[in-house]
Structures are given as structure tokens and as C-alpha cells.
Structure 1
């Protein structure tokens, strides 16, 4: 139960789906959780369940990973209220249907902003804190990184990029004792799917 005692886990996209499930798993291990997401009502429900599951401490940070100010606030509030960051989980994700023929640049920008730019920037922003704790980063990628699905070209490209970012970050940050890994889940039934 106390495996994560004295550890702080920041989870993006914690209000639903995989992020919600991860929050409960870390709560059961006794971690302190920074639950970040856009849905205020869902975050409140997730926080309540995390407390009942055994989380040491919890905070909600209502934030949008497409906004730099929100990402900065996420990290700042986590450190101010919970003291540190031991684990960063870049879970927030977005996908839309579209390929080369019918996709738009607006969709491209939105998907890349959530799925690739946000993990990159949050790793940068958390780096000083992860150095102190010799923490870790977990990026939620997708099996789509290794599949060729024309109607999901934007999403697939971001997941290939996230896999590469993870490998580069693991090599670069390993010298600080920081581990960086990703998970490539298959289809998981969530509100997004």
C-alpha cells in the first residue's frame, strides 16, 4: 500500500479514461496526486475516489495542455501544494478523423499541440523538479505509432513523434537518474474512443 508514499505524481488528462484509471492505481499505492484536466466535475469525482482509494494527498488542477500558461500553472501548483514532482505522466491525448486528402491544418495543429508539444514542454517544465527527485516520465503513446491508418494520419504521426521524443529524452535525461518511458496501448474503450 505504501509503495508510492512520499511520491508525487502529476497526471494530465486525469479526468477520464486511462488517466482516471492511472490515478486510482497510484492512489491505491499511497501516492500524492496532482490531477490535471479540463473537466471540473469529472476531476472532482476522480479526486474523491482517489482519496477513498488511499491517496496520501490530492489536488485538482483545471488546465488545458494546449495553453502554455496552463501547463506552467500545472507544474507550479503541483510543486507549491505537494512539494515536488516524482512522476510526470503525459496522458492527455486528442485524435480526430482525417487523412491527407480531407484533413485540415487546424486539426493538425490541435492534435500536435496536445499529443506532442504538451509532453515536450511538460518534460522541460518538470525537469528541475525531476532532477531533484531522480524521478520518471511516462508518456502515453499508442499502437497507432506502428500502424498505418489513413483516416488517423494526424494522430498516428504524433504518436510516432512521441515514441521518438521518449527515446531521445531517455538518453538525454538518464545522466540525471531520470527514467523516461512510454506505453503504446491498443484500443481502450474510453470517452475518446
Structure 2
């Protein structure tokens, strides 16, 4: 049935989005190496508008422990510095008048364990989103059954939704495993 296919496609799409979102959240958790995406989410006041840092400066990693931020306009340096300090990421920016450098300190064992917990929490949020999509689609399929859809077709669709759910849960577990390995590697 067309409606069943719609719900299956919808569940696949929404669960893909949940995994993708979880992946982007895990990418923000730093594993001791300098990465430009560590500064994603930082906004800077730029001509009265709150603007993402990447739109007012280039962020590069000259080495594994340093982030370098070169603003397009020199007058933005104090604004960028203030935004980084206020971001609560625990970075201490150093300004040399041309660009801003951030040294990423090596992670302590305690901090690594804390980051793994944070990664597990993000992954669990992803799993909750996947389960919510499954519940929503299963409810819609039950409605179709009440509206006269074939019981066999609904049963097959429910099994397919469960397979899609299991697949996405496995993807989330794999993401967590990779991130955990990344964080705990010295």
C-alpha cells in the first residue's frame, strides 16, 4: 500500500536525521586534538547581528594541539576573543594582533571519562529520537489497520520498521564506540 510505503520512508528519513544529528553532536566533543569544528556554535556580534564565527574568520589547525583563527577584518579580533571566552568551552585564546591562537591542552584521565559520559548521553538522546520515530510510525500503522488496511501488510510493515530501528540503533552504537576509542586514545 502507498500509505505504508510512505510511513516506512518517513521512518527511514527521520531516523537518518537522528543519527546524523547525533554524529554532529559527537563531533563537537573534543578528543584532545584540535579540530576547527570545535568552535561550531560560537557566534560573534558583527555589525549588530549575531553571526557564526566561520562567517567572519577562517579557522585552521596548524598542528594537532593548536587552533588558529584569522578574522576577515582585524577589528573583529576582540569580538571573537570575547565570544570564545564566553562560550564556556574552557579555551584561553591568545591574540597577537593578526590572529587568535588557542592551545588545546592534553586531556586528563578524569576529563576523558567525563567526555565519554557526555558522548554516551548524546548517543542515548539519538536512540530516544529513533524510538520516538518508531512509536509514531507504529501508531500510524495501527490507525491504518483500524481504517481497513490488510492485517498482513501492517504486520510486515511493523517488522520492517523494527528492522530500520535496529539498524539505526546499531549505527548509533558504532558512532559511540568510535568516539569512545577516539577520546580514550592518548
Shorter-chain TM band: under 0.3
Q: Which has the higher contact order (CA 8 A, sep 6+)?
A: 2
| Bigger Cα Rg | 2
The structure richer in helix per residue is 2
